[in-house]
Amino acid sequence: MLEPRFHRACCNYLHAISVAFKAFKRLGYERVGVAYYEDVHNRLEGQWLAQTLLEQSKLPESRRVPSLIMPYWDGGQDRFMDWYERYKPDAILSLEQVPGWLAAHGVRVPEDCAFATIDIPVKGAAYVDEQHNQVGEAALNLIIEQLNMNYFGPPPSPRNMQVECKWVDGSTAPPKASLEMPGNPKKRRIKSAQNSH
């Protein structure tokens, strides 16, 4: 809801992207791609894209993966895979359907590409936790403050209280070095796949 403007509490959407890029870097991934769709982009007022561009500006050009913002998500598998095949990210931050799309095209998570989702956790997967309980607590504090001050109606200067996100490790984004260790079965499978081409 854009009008009327009230005080509100939400997660820090810029921080969500920042947390993910820092985590992927810590885990050894170098080419992070971000994919979602226009409705999300518009509802967040472009904040995910803005922070992604900022994070990528810190990287060499060879490690920058253009974001994919699709006009729709349902039925967008082919468009997503075209983007993946063109840019070959080694890690993807996206929505929960992506592992299935990758698997349907023979791309293994995490052996071929790591994956994490934002907000909606997939069982066992890495994800960015938007901390909804803390957001609810912050919203309640705003309401209590308004009641205690006997304020009613839209405020003259609305406040936006933002809660920072946190990264949750998962099997879809292990340390990249663990996939490349000698004797690791995952590495042997990768080599055999490469030899078959």
What digits encode the pLDDT tens for the residues 92-151?
999 999 999 999 999 999 999 999 998 777 888 999 998 877 767 767 777 777 777 777
Task: Find the range with the poorest average confidence among 1-10, 89-98, 141-150, 170-179.
Answer: 1-10
Residue 107: inside a domain: yes
Condensed to tens digits (0 to 9), the pLDDT of residues 38-76 reads 999 999 999 999 999 999 999 999 999 999 999 999 999
Residue 19: inside a domain: yes
Residue 121: inside a domain: yes
Residue 20: inside a domain: yes
**Residues near 61 by beta carbon (within 8 Å), at least 6 away in sequence:** none
Residue 3: inside a domain: no
Residue 169: inside a domain: yes
Residue 70: inside a domain: yes
Instruction: Say whether pTM exceeds 0.75.
Output: yes
**Residues near 123 by beta carbon (within 8 Å), at least 6 away in sequence:** none
Domain total in the chain: 1
Residue 2: inside a domain: no
* DSSP β-bridge partners for residue 8: 160
- Joined together, the tokens standing for residue 109 give 């998570």
Domain that holds residue 24: 8-195
Confidence of residue 190 (pLDDT cuts 50, 70, 90): very low
Instruction: Give the CATH number for residue 40.
Output: 3.40.50.2300
- Give the whole-angstrom CA distance, residue 112 versus residue 127: 18
Helix (H) or strand (E) holding 131, with range, is: none
